[in-house]
Structure 1
């Protein structure tokens, strides 16, 4: 039985790219001491998220996937598999992206597909979900609001993803916000999506999130590891930190899917509207 030690981070990142790399270096070093093999850092870990969702005038630094900053992340990761969010430059286009690196190279990446409120004033949209092989198993990536759409995780699960890593800059409520983030309705929704997506697809789910405040946004933290039964194995709660759990991924998926296999028992012919329906 091969167990994988994985960790999801809740931490604050901002426009100070050098400071962000300093935090990333410390988090990777801490994870390495703890024997972590797969580490998930938040959305926009390199360069910070948007200060608001009404069209932030100060955009995050745009980095190329083949540029020196991602090469620096690759060096820091070493033989650990590390996922981190960043603003990706591709010609004149900018994407809210996440990259997965390890073993001296880029293993995979994803451009955020679903954009809440006015995020599309700052980023172009990605157009799909694809899983890829890594030293710790087949991984699928998504970013924040992507997880509100069951089709996102289901697409990755059908592409063979055993582990889905969702990186976020998920804020608390902007209206009627309670003083305690644990009582915030957006914290509750964040946690519900994590557990539901893991359970309905019977996959291991790794959820990282920003912490603290940035501009008008206050982030809910709540980094966690969820097993294929939807049970939370480790969480930071509404505080910064690193949620660490050991899981035998192959065995956990086999056990979860043995009797009630949610992917196996689908009836695509019964819901054809999923392929074409618009509102």
Structure 2
């Protein structure tokens, strides 16, 4: 893999699908101007996230089919750029919190969020698997939001050959015990901790996006970032809207991280049972 530029986005997305696609178009244009090859947009970029503080069946996000016109428009906008974004996927009678990876060639891979926090089952059915897939910028794995809390999620993708993890989030401040300052919020600390830990323990590159602003009773953290395979933050947005961009040779950085201590090959699965 050659040197690529990875962009991870913090931005607000609400219920209006047309406004969401226009915002995606603007971010893709910015990414293209900055020669970004992989652009990771937040969870629920098209249609917004469910308000877990006050889940209401009457105000759930709109549903989108994988072969529908909305994702077709995004693919056309993406062109040569690999873009990851989140939707509320309609599949028959089921609805999933789904991360979609696409380019001008169409959908490259999908991931249905497996782990659900309290209240989310009112809006989504849980996914059942983690699998990496090949893209023009390398082998990629995706996580949605709460998935990255569980080490097994990222480890499964790394063992499946993922070189880059795209973590798409709509991650809020603490709903039950919000701190006066966002920097002191427990969920703010955990969001950063999980990003760095998942990259370092698997020695992969991680691009973490997140929503900003509010949805009902929730306030989203932002804090988009690109993390290297040693757990070091290469670029970040902090709590503001923006795009964190880092340029790196993914294969070379992973090889360097694994030169002396190779976590995946040095595992002892027999001792973990």
Q: Which residue of 2 aligns with 1:52?
A: 52
Paired with 1:270 and 1:169, the residues of 2 have a C-alpha distance of 36
Residues 12-53 of structure 1 deviation map (CA, whole Å, 9 limit, x = unaligned): 000000000111000110111011010000000000001234
Q: In the TM superposition, what are the counterparts of 1:126-165 in structure 2 within 5 Å?
A: 126-165=127-166
- Give the conservation status (yes or no) of the 8 Å contact 1:41–1:83: yes
**1:26 aligned residue:** 26
Q: Is 1:118 aligned to residue 132 of structure 2?
A: no
Q: Normalising by structure 2, report the TM-score.
A: 0.98
Aligned residues: 272
- Measure the CA separation in 2 of the matches of 1:136 and 1:2: 8
Report the CA distance between 1:103 and its aligned residue.
3.4
> Any residues of structure 2 matched to 1:78-227 within 5 Å, and which?
78-227=79-228
Paired with 1:53 and 1:101, the residues of 2 have a C-alpha distance of: 31
SS of the equivalent of 2:143 reads strand
Look up the SS of the partner of 2:71 in the other structure.
Answer: helix
Offset at 1:54?
4.8
* Cα deviation, residue 179, structure 1: 3.1
Contact 1:53–1:117 at 8 Å: present in 2 too?
A: no
Q: Quote how far apart the aligned CAs of 1:180 are.
A: 2.4
Does the CA contact (< 8 Å) of 1:53 and 1:119 recur in 2? no
Report if the CA contact (8 A) 2:77-2:104 is conserved: no
TM-fit CA distance, 1:183: 1.8
Q: 1:176 to 1:124 in 2, by over 3 A?
A: closer
Separation in 1, partners of 2:177, 2:156: 35
Structure 1, gaps ≥5 residues long: 273-279
Q: TM-score, normalised by structure 1?
A: 0.96
Q: Please give the secondary structure, in 1, of the residue aligned with 2:52.
A: coil
- Give the distance between the partners of 1:229 and 1:145, measured in 2 at CA: 22
Per-residue deviation, 1:59? 1.1
Unaligned segments of structure 2, at least 5 residues: none
How many angstroms apart in 2 are the aligned matches of 1:55 and 1:13? 17
Match of 1:42 in 2: 42
TM-aligned CA deviation for residue 102 of structure 1: 1.2
Which residue does the alignment assign to 1:277?
Answer: none
Q: 1: CA distance between counterparts of 2:245 and 2:235?
A: 6
Please list every run of at least 4 consecutive aligned residues from structure 1 whose deviation after the TM superposition is greater than 4 angstroms: none
What residue in structure 2 maps to residue 276 of structure 1?
Answer: none
CA contact (8 A) 1:54 1:117 kept: no
- Residues 59-68 or 219-228, more deviating: 59-68
